[in-house]
Every structure is written in structure tokens, then in C-alpha cells.
Amino acid sequence: MNTRPAIDESTGPVSLSVIFNQDSSCFAVGLDTGFCVFNSDPCELKVSRDFNAGIGAAQMLGRANYIALVGGGRQPKFPQNKVIIWDDAKQKAVITLEFRSPVNRVCLSRSRIIVVLYNSVHIYAFSSPPEKLSVFETANNPFGLCCLGSKIVAFPGRTPGQVQLVEIGTGNVSIIPAHATPLRAMEMSPDGEILATASETGTLVRTFSTGNCARTGELRRGVDQALVFSIAISPNSKLLAVTSDKSTLHIFDLPHSSPPSRSESPAGRSLRGLNGSLNPESTDEGNKKKWGLLGKIPLMPRVFSDIYSFASAHFETDDNPKVGLGNGEVTPIPGIPGGRPRKGVLGWIDDNTILVVGAGRDGRWEKFILGESDDGKRRCIRQGWKRYLGS
């Protein structure tokens, strides 16, 4: 009889969540032991706090002046129905908000605290004590979808597939009928003028003007159903990136914006100049002319005339073991929106540099560069990667 204890195969803390700050200059990682903050590029540890208990989500304000913490994991530091505003300079909690159900996400600005629950969104003034300003009902929102701009906050409507836009100053509400199926991802441009959404179907990304709620574009990620992980819009609001469980990063030109000229692409004027040859992981350019003349034939299926990405690249997705439920699903982890660590989270460092980070046991950071190859086509290549928990 073998009575020896099992060997602990863990090699350190496990990241439960990863979230970029407002300008993607840093990202916060919720750990099963606390939280940490990394500079985005280069990927370097900036802050580490060990609580010996789990943080399911950590959302920074700026460069970690204040951090909104929500307990998570199998041994949470805080009850999962509470939001803790942590002052890292004083290393203590300065605000606590308590709710009747678990918190799925928190968004912060210098004037607002937005708390996202499964079926509602609560808006507070960022003050001490915080003042509750409004509450909005939503459709089921298991992933805590919410976008906070300087003037507008966006989150799911009461009907699946709809988006509510709320003006922060006036409280006025507008409704966008974005999709016929429930929302899976959404993001707002840095200037707050564009909202991008994807549904559970995952084949299309739609863009809308936040000024008049009009649809401005429809971008085809693919023809097969997929789980969209993340959407992000470049600082100049000309490009959109999207990741999915297909392990592919797609880059699109946003409608009504012209492709960057060669002189506007300093990060990759010649991709051969980066390492002597094109990265084998990069793929050929594709765009709205993907199907050539087929897209111009009347009565052809719309898939032949849709706008496709002009560049794509592979990124690493799921390092989590496929355990537990017997039907191909993964055992959910308490206190994490969606029940498992996020993958493929996007952040634009500049108009030509994209980061893709993911949570999990060997959380990864990957850097991609946009530029033109010698044949004049725009491409996306992976310039580097690392396991940030080992840094």
C-alpha cells in the first residue's frame, strides 16, 4: 500500500484574472494569494501584495493609485458580494461597498465607481463615503460586461443583445439593439466615440457611434461560431483587435477610417527589419476583398461581401487542465466572472503594438507588432512572449 503523500505540482500562485488599466500602460492580476500589478511594456512586476487568500478581480485607477478588489477563488480574501477600494499608498481599504449578490466587475474613474452584478449595474460617486447615484437593471451578465468612458458608461440592456448607453452627467439613457443573441464582449474607443460589440455567436463584431447610436460597421471575425475573449480599439480609433477561442488575433480597419500609410507605421515599416525574415506565425493579409469577384456577384451570400480582418496571428489560449464535468467542460472557479480565468485579454500600447495577456497557472504576456512587409501588405507578427508569473 502506497501511503506517501501526493506531490504538490503547483509551482506558485495562480492568476485568476487579468485586467488592463485605462491606457493599457499597466495590468492588474488577481491571484489565489493576493494581487499584483505589472508594467505592460516591458512586462515587469511593479506591485505585489500577498494576502494568503484569493482576489478574483483587481481593477486599477490610473497606475495603481486606487485598486478595486473583489474576493475570488476557492479561498477568497473578501466576501464575493463586496467591493473593496484599496489605497495602495496606505496599503489599506478606504471604501467598502456591499451587495446582495456576487460582484462580477468593477469599473473606476476619478469621479465614478461602477459595480456590475449579474442582473444590475450600480453607479456611485467616487467619494468618501460613496454616494449611490443610480441603479439599472440588465439582462443576465455573467461576464460583467461594462465600458466606462469620460462621458458615457455602456452595459447590457434589459433585453439580451441590447446595450444601454448612459450619459454620466445627465443620466440620459439610450438603447442600441446590437445583436439578436446575448452579448459576449464589448469595448469603447479611447475617445468614447465608438462602441464595439460581439454576441455569443461570435462571428461578427459590430461598431456603433455613441453620439447617435447608429451602426457604423460590421466586421466578420469568421464563419464558425466562437467565444470572443476580448475586443480593443487602438488609441487613434482607426483599428480594432479581437481575440477568440480559435486562438487567433484578428486586426480590422474600423469603418470610415483609411488604412495607415507606410510613413504612419514606425513600429513596422519593414517587418523584415525586425528579425531578418517574416515570423512564420504571421498570416497573409485579408480584407473586404477576401473573396475577390465573388463578393460583387448579386444575390451571393453576405459572407462573400463582408469586411474581414487585414491581418491575423496565433496567440496562446488555454493552459488549464480539462477537468471535472465529464462533458468537455471545465470545473468553474468561484468568484471569477464566467467561472474560469480569462484568456486573450487585449491592450494597445500604441497604434502599432498590441499586447495579449491571459490568466491561469502559467499566465502569458505576448507582444504583437503591426507593419508592412516588403510586398506592401500589412501583417501582424508576434515579437515576444513570457510567463509573467515567473518574472
Query: What is the pTM (predicted TM-score) of this model?
Result: 0.85
Closest CA to 366 of 248, 190, 268: 248
Provide the 8-state DSSP code for 236: T
Q: Which residues of 199-221 are buried (b: 16+ CB within 10 A; e: fewer)?
A: bbbbbbbbbbebeeeeebbebbb
Question: Percentage of the chain with pLDDT > 90?
Answer: 71
Distance between CA atoms of 243 and 264, rounded to whole angstroms?
Answer: 24
User: pLDDT digits over 6-54, tens only?
Assistant: 334 455 789 999 999 999 999 999 999 999 999 999 999 999 999 999 9
Q: In what order do the strands lie in the sheet with 173-177?
A: 147-148, 152-156, 162-167, 173-177
How sure is the predictor about 329, in pLDDT bands with cuts at 50, 70 and 90?
low
| Distance of alpha carbon 301 from alpha carbon 324, whole angstroms | 41
State residue 13's pLDDT score: 86
Return d(Cα 369, Cα 279) in angstroms, integer. Answer: 11
105: region left, alpha or beta (phi > 0 left; psi from -120 to 50 alpha):
beta
**Position of cell 465600458?**
147
Residue 5 has pLDDT above 90, yes or no: no
CATH superfamily of 15-390: YVTN repeat-like/Quinoprotein amine dehydrogenase (2.130.10.10)
Per-residue model confidence as pLDDT tens digits over 92-104: 999 999 999 999 9
DSSP secondary structure string for all residues of 150-172 = SSEEEEE-SSTTEEEEEETTT--
By the 10 Å C-beta count (0-12 exposed, 13-18 middle, 19+ buried), 272 is classed as middle
Residue corresponding to grid cell 452627467:
169
- Give the model's confidence band at 374: pLDDT under 50 very low, under 70 low, under 90 confident, else very high: confident
What does the DSSP assignment read for 192-225? S-EEEEEESS-SEEEEEETTT--EEEEEE--SS-
Q: How many CB atoms lie within 10 A of CB 66?
A: 19
CA distance 147 to 145: 7
Name the residue among 115, 37, 127 with its Cα closest to residue 80.
Answer: 115
Mean pLDDT, residues 112-117:
97
* Domain spans in the chain, listed from the N-terminal domain onward: 15-390
